[in-house]
A and B are shown apart, each in its own frame.
Chain A
Amino acid sequence: MRASGSSLRSKDLLGIEALTPEEITLILDTAEGFKEVSERPVKKVPALRGQLVINLFMEASTRTRVSFEIAEKRLSADTLNFSASGSAVEKGETLIDTADNLVAMHPNMIVIRHKHPGSPQMLAERYPTISVINAGDGAHEHPTQALLDAFTIRERLGRLQGVNVAIVGDIKYSRVVRSNIHLLTKMKANVTLAAPPTLIPTEIDKLGVRVVHSLDEAIEGADVVMMLRIQLERQGKLSFPSLREYYNTFGLTRERLRRAKKGVLVMHPGPMNRGVEIASDVADDPNYSVILEQVTNGVAVRMAVLYLLGGAHGE
C-alpha cells in the first residue's frame, strides 16, 4: 500500500468516486508543475521513457484521445493508438480478447474509452501489473475531465471549497457530470444541477447536490456555469420536444448570464452544440468562456495522472 498524502493508493484511475480529497489535491498540485512543461521550447521530459501506453479507444473521441496522446508524448512514453474501427473488433473480437492480445505485448498503462460502464474496472482487475486509466466509460465516469475542470476552476478562482457551480443540461446521459459531482462535493464546492425533468436521473440529489428545473434559478449567484452537451447519440429519442425549445429554456445566452456573479466562468467539456445548449457569442466571449483553457489544462492534468500512476508501485 502506498502512503496516502504524497501518492495515489491505487495503480489505476477508474473514477473520481474512489479518490480521497487528498489524492485529488495531489493530482491538481502535480498538474501545476506539468503546465509549465508545455510552455518550454522543448516540450518533453524523460519521466516515462521506455514505458508503453496503449490508448484503447472503442468509442469516438477527438479531444480526450488527442489530449492523452500529447500528454504521453510530452512524458516521453511510447504510445500506441488502438481504435475499434479498422481493427479485428469489426470482425467480432471481444474487448477481453482484444485487450489480452495487446497486453501480451507488455504495455505499462492502458487508457481506455468504452461505451460500457465498468469496462476499465474489468481490465484493471484482469491485469494486476498494468495501470488502467478510464477515459470515459458509458454514462459512468470520465475522471480526467472532472480533474481538468477542477484544475481550471482552482486556477481561476484560487479555490474549490465554497465555490458555487451550476451544471446545466444532459445530466442523465453524462459521465462528465457524475465525475464532476463526486469531485466537487468531495472538495466542498456547492453544486446545483439544472435540466428538464426528463434529463435528471431519480435520486441524484442523494449525491449531495441541489436540483432545480430552471436555468435562471441555477445561474443565480453561480461562480461557475458548466454547460453539458446534449448527447443526441445516447438518447433513443429526444427527451424534450425540440432542440429549438431546449435552447429557449435551457440554452445559455448573454442575457441569462446576467444573473450569475461578476466574473462568472463559463465551461463546457466539448464538443459543443452551438445554438442548442450554448449561444455562440457566449462560448466565444473571452470575458466568460474558459472552454479553450480547459483543453490546455487537460494536457497538464493527464500528464500528472500518467506520472503519478507510471512510477514505481511500492509495497
Chain B
Amino acid sequence: MNVKKRLLDGARMNRAIRRMAIEVVEKNRGLEQLMIVGIRSRGVPIAERMVAEIEQMEGQPVPFGILDITLYRDDLTTIAPNPVVKPTKFPEPINDKIIVLVDDVLYTGRTVRAALDALIDFGRPKQVMLAVLIDRGHRELPIHADVIGKTVPTDADEVIKVKLAETDDGEDEVLLMEK
C-alpha cells in the first residue's frame, strides 16, 4: 500500500484528542456519571489519553473501561482466522452511566453496532455517546459520532492507518493509504 497523505502528525493528533476531551466535558456539563470506554484495540490508548486530558482539566478521576467487541462482530462466520478474544473490563457497573465509546476510525459503523450490543449485555447506561479520532464516511448503518477529531472524505479503495505509540512501533501519526 502506498502512502497518499499524512493526515495527522503527533502534535496535531494530541491537539485533536485534547479537543475531543474538552468537547466530551462540555457536552455533559461536567463529569457527573461519565465513563470513558475504549473499543479494542486502538480505541483503548485514545480513550486513555482522553481520560488523562479530562483528569488534568477537571482535577478529578474519570472511570475508564475497555470493551472487546470480537464476539459481537457480524462477520465472524465469514472471516478467517478468527480474531483474538480479550477480556472486557469496567471499573464499576455501567447502569445509569453516560458512556463515551471511543474508537480510532468510524467507517461502516459495524464496529459501533457490535459495541452497542456488547455494552447492553453489561447493563443499561443512561446515555451512550461516540467519540472517534477520524470519521472517514461510507456508513453502512444509521450511526453517527458525537465527537470527532478530524473528518476526512475518502474513497472506498483508500485505507486510513492510525498509528499510536502504545500499540504500534514508532511515532503517533494518521496516514491515508491507497490499496
Q: Does A36 contact B (CB under 8 A)?
A: yes
* Given A35-B87, A40-B121: A7 and B82 interface contact (C-beta under 8 Å): yes
Q: Which residues of A contact B80 (CB under 8 A)?
A: 2, 7, 311-314
Task: Please encode chain B, from 51 to 92, with 1 for each CB lying within 8 Å of some chain A CB and 0 for all others.
Answer: 000000000000000001011100011111110111111000
**Interface hit among A43-51, A164-172, A225-233, A256-264:** A43-51
User: Complex Cα distance A308/B71, Å?
Assistant: 11
Q: Which residues of B contact A33 (CB under 8 A)?
A: 68, 70, 84-87
User: Complex Cα distance A311/B74, Å?
Assistant: 12
Give the size range of B's interface with the partner.
Answer: 20 to 34
> Which residue in A36, A42, A311, A313 is a CB contact (below 8 Å) of B76?
A311
User: Complex Cα distance A264/B72, Å?
Assistant: 39
Q: Does A30 contact B (CB under 8 A)?
A: yes
Q: A42 contacts B121, CB within 8 Å?
A: yes
Q: Does A307 contact B (CB under 8 A)?
A: yes
Q: A311 contacts B79, CB within 8 Å?
A: yes
User: Complex Cα distance A314/B70, Å?
Assistant: 18
How many whole Å from B177's CB to the nearest CB in chain A?
23
User: Complex Cα distance A307/B86, Å?
Assistant: 13
Give the residues from 79 to 130 in chain B that come closer than 8 angstroms, CB to CB, to chain A: 79-82, 84-89, 117-118, 121-123
How many whole Å from A202's CB to the nearest CB in chain B?
41
Q: A41 contacts B122, CB within 8 Å?
A: yes
Q: Which residues of A contact B77 (CB under 8 A)?
A: 311-312
Q: Which residues of A contact B70 (CB under 8 A)?
A: 33, 47
Main secondary structure of the interface of B (DSSP, over half): loop
Q: A308 contacts B82, CB within 8 Å?
A: yes
Q: Which residues of B contact A6 (CB under 8 A)?
A: 81, 84
Q: Which residues of A contact B71 (CB under 8 A)?
A: 37, 45-47, 75, 307
Closest A residue, CB atoms, query B93? A41
Q: A3 contacts B84, CB within 8 Å?
A: no
Q: B81 contacts A45, CB within 8 Å?
A: no
* Given A40-B121, A41-B123, A311-B77: A46 and B84 interface contact (C-beta under 8 Å): no
* Given A32-B87, A33-B68, A36-B88: A312 and B121 interface contact (C-beta under 8 Å): no
User: Complex Cα distance A304/B84, Å?
Assistant: 10
Q: Does A17 contact B (CB under 8 A)?
A: no
Q: Which residues of B contact A40 (CB under 8 A)?
A: 121-122
Task: Please encode chain A, from 277 to 315, with 1 for each CB lying within 8 Å of some chain B CB and 0 for all others.
Answer: 000000000000000000000000000100110011110
How many whole Å from A86's CB to the nearest CB in chain B?
33
> Which residue in A26, A46, A47, A312 is a CB contact (below 8 Å) of B79?
A312
User: Complex Cα distance A270/B82, Å?
Assistant: 32
Give the residues from 200 to 245 in chain A that come closer than 8 angstroms, CB to CB, to chain B: none
Closest A residue, CB atoms, query B81? A7
Q: Which residues of A contact B82 (CB under 8 A)?
A: 7, 307-308, 311-312
Q: Which residues of B contact A44 (CB under 8 A)?
A: 121
How many whole Å from B39's CB to the nearest CB in chain A?
15
Q: List 28 A-B contacts (CB under 8 A).
A: A2-B81, A3-B81, A6-B84, A7-B81, A26-B84, A30-B84, A30-B85, A32-B86, A33-B84, A33-B85, A34-B85, A36-B87, A36-B89, A37-B71, A41-B122, A45-B71, A46-B72, A46-B117, A47-B72, A307-B82, A311-B77, A311-B79, A311-B80, A312-B78, A312-B79, A312-B82, A314-B80, A314-B81
Closest 9 CB pairs of A and B: A314-B80, A7-B81, A33-B85, A45-B71, A311-B82, A36-B87, A312-B80, A47-B71, A42-B121
Interface residues in chain A, defined as those with a beta carbon under 8 Å from any beta carbon in chain B:
2-3, 6-7, 26, 29-30, 32-37, 40-42, 44-47, 75, 304, 307-308, 311-314
